Amino acid sequence: MQAPRRRRRPEDARLEIEEAARELLAEQPFHQVTVSAIMGRTTLSRKSFYVYFRDRYQLLTALVGPLRAELDEANALWLTGDADPAGRGRAALHAVAQILSDRGTLVRALADAARYDEHAARLWREFNEPVIERVAAAIRAEAPDLGEPERVARALVGMNLYCLFEQVVGNPRADVDGVVDALLTVWMRTVYPAR
């Protein structure tokens, strides 16, 4: 006689799927992560995936959404702080680095997938553009003589992501303070050259 299937709360089943996807995305690129592979790491049937998610993209959005909120809080340390731009810049960069050190594989998976997958590229833009807009607005307010604030913001945010992905994400021995110091130097010399 077969044991009866254990019933679980829907939120528990959804969390099990999300955790399986997180594990897979830490091991392989997004294009290799299939619904079958995700569900193979759960105690649920493959069709259960579609009870909770329309497709892999909706799952990826659900995974990175909470990170976007955390990163926004970290960025706010620079964007809405006191008169010391270096101090608030260091605090913001360190907070962002810590978040990406802990859970940056998801963000990197989305950025990597955006290079070859139009749907992922749209998700990446939705994830990244609000930050660039806020940074550009801050540059306009704090460095009004600096030309083309949106391009400068895009370059600075892109530099942050590249350095953090290459040196911090997935590297438990990363010199986070060293990376933050290097990034802060570029930000300060770009946005506040007179200081």
pLDDT top residue among 1 and 83: 83
At residue 3, does pLDDT exceed 50?
A: no
Query: Quick check: is 124 in a domain?
Result: yes
Q: Are residues 103 and 155 in the same domain?
A: yes
Over residues 115-173, the pLDDT tens digits come to 999 999 999 999 999 999 999 999 998 888 888 999 999 999 999 999 999 999 989 89
Residue 124 sits in the same domain as residue 95:
yes
Give the closest residue to 64 by CA, choosing from 27, 31, 113.
Answer: 113
Residues with Cβ within 8 Å of residue 42, at least 6 apart in sequence: 16, 17, 20, 48
The model's confidence at residue 54, banded by pLDDT at 50, 70 and 90, is very high
pLDDT at position 134: 93
Q: Judge contact between 111 and 124, C-beta under 8 A.
A: yes
- Residues 89, 78: contact at Cβ < 8 Å? yes
| Band (2; pLDDT cuts 50, 70, 90) | very low
The total domain count for the chain is: 2
User: C-alpha angle with apex 164: 159 to 168, nearest 5 degrees?
Assistant: 160
Q: Which of 50, 40, 61, 52 is nearest to 13 (CA)?
A: 52
Give the residue among 95, 100, 60 at the shortest CA–CA distance from 77. Answer: 95
Please indicate, yes or no, whether residues 158 and 184 belong to a single structural domain of this protein.
yes
Same structural domain for residues 106 and 134?
A: yes
